[in-house]
């Protein structure tokens, strides 16, 4: 679809699968079954790191009709971004590290800082209703 110019966004089948975007990026790059890297599903459909990242940044913003303020770090855009503990553009395997995120900024304010004593590995109790995105996760910015 990307080769034909179709606008695509990354996502998941949560709660059936994880909603972790880093896992989604990893899966789009490698397309193999868990713990079976030799078993690649449709290898011709594997994406580059940059294509997979775009699904979850610019593609997600476009799908939410917010591509004029979300999806990239640029002047005039909301300062919603994460800082990672590893360079995942070079080390794609780091995408599945449970402690990958160093910090999270929403609307330019730091909302999370990595703390090795409080890592949540399986589920989260975070309330997304104040995420500031329009729709079911929040009313408006």
Has residue 138 been placed in a domain? Answer: no
Digit-by-digit pLDDT tens for the chain (141 residues) are: 888 888 999 998 888 888 999 999 999 999 988 788 888 899 999 999 999 999 999 999 999 999 999 999 999 999 999 999 999 999 999 999 989 999 999 999 999 999 988 765 555 555 555 555 454 444 444
* Residue 109 three-state SS: strand
Has residue 91 been placed in a domain? Answer: yes
Has residue 37 been placed in a domain? Answer: yes
What pLDDT is attached to residue 48?
Answer: 97
Give this prediction's pTM.
0.78
Has residue 128 been placed in a domain? Answer: no
Has residue 89 been placed in a domain? Answer: yes
Has residue 125 been placed in a domain? Answer: no
What pLDDT is attached to residue 121?
Answer: 54
Rounded Cα distance, 78 and 72, in Å: 9
Has residue 88 been placed in a domain? Answer: yes
Has residue 136 been placed in a domain? Answer: no
CA 133 vs CA 17, 35, 136: distances in Å: 22, 35, 8
What pLDDT is attached to residue 124?
Answer: 53
DSSP 57-112: THHHHHHTT-TTTSSS--TTS---EEEESS-TTT-GGGGG-TT-EEEEEETTEEEE
Q: How many domains does the chain have?
A: 1
* Residue 54 three-state SS: helix
Domain that holds residue 55: 2-120
């Amino acid at each position: 679809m990307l080769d034909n110019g179709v606008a695509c966004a990354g996502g998941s089948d949560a709660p059936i699968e994880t909603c972790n975007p880093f896992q989604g990026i990893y899966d789009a790059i490698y397309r193999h079954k868990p713990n079976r890297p030799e078993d690649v599903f449709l290898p011709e459909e594997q994406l580059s790191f940059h294509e997979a990242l775009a699904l979850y940044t610019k593609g997600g913003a476009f799908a939410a009709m917010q591509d004029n303020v979300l999806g990239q770090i640029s002047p005039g855009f909301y300062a919603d971004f994460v800082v990672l503990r590893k360079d995942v553009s070079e080390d794609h395997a780091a995408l599945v590290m449970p402690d990958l995120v160093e910090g999270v900024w929403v609307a330019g304010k730091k909302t999370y800082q990595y703390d090795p004593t409080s890592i949540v590995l399986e589920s989260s109790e975070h309330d997304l209703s104040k995420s500031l995105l329009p729709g079911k996760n929040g009313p408006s910015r």
